[in-house]
Amino acid sequence: MTAIHHATAKRAANIGINLVVEGDDIVARDHDGLLLAQGIDAKRVLVAAEQARLERNGGPDDAEYNEPDQDEPEDDVADEGSDDNNEAADEPKVERSIVKRKYRKLYMPKNRSCGDEMAHLIAEHVKEDDVLNLDKLIRFAKANDCWIDSYRKLNPGQIRMNVGNRLRAKIRKGHDVIWAS
């Protein structure tokens, strides 16, 4: 079933693009109903629609358009079995990271961490031989009431980040960290 994620729909609405499901496709139209892009992936359709509108108008048409940073190449989505005749090869590149580019740049020199004292303390506590021990991280999170079962769907780095963020919030409210595992 073809669907549009709520965040993608919101982003589209914020920049004046209407995304709708028509049959098995996602269709992007401007405020006048003019077709901008069409496809099966809402994010890709939105990116293509933004590009089509930009090309039609000869440049950014409003203050909400954010031109991509030129100093860092965009991440490619894995291209499975593409050839020159593949329509997907013509689609714009889409970033795969959930972390905003400005934070990736900021955190890169700090071993992909915000680098504060709490991040270092958590890393020291849940790593073994310089590798994150997921079971130990989960025990630590549960001991500090920072665990949510839906975190199991995330990768270990995302779990570590979420646990750290929840723990920082609890500390600001007076929580004493439980370091035993």
In a domain, 96, yes or no: no
**Co-location of 45 and 85 in the same domain:** yes
Q: What's the angle, vertex CA 47, arms to CA 43 and CA 50, rounded to 5? A: 140
The reported pLDDT for the residue numbered 14 is 86
**Cβ 38 vs Cβ 25: under 8 Å:** yes
The reported pLDDT for the residue numbered 67 is 39
Q: How many domains does the chain have?
A: 2
Is 70's pLDDT higher than 70?
no
For the chain, percent of residues with pLDDT exceeding 90: 19
Distance CA(52)–CA(65), nearest Å, equals 13
Structure confidence at residue 63 as a pLDDT band (50, 70, 90): very low
In tens, the pLDDT along 100-149 reads 777 777 767 666 667 778 888 888 899 888 888 999 999 999 999 999 99
Is 167's pLDDT higher than 80?
yes
What is the arithmetic mean of pLDDT over 164-176? 93
**Co-location of 11 and 76 in the same domain:** yes
Is 159's pLDDT higher than 70?
yes
The reported pLDDT for the residue numbered 146 is 93
**Co-location of 78 and 145 in the same domain:** no
Residue range(s) defining the domain that contains residue 166: 101-172
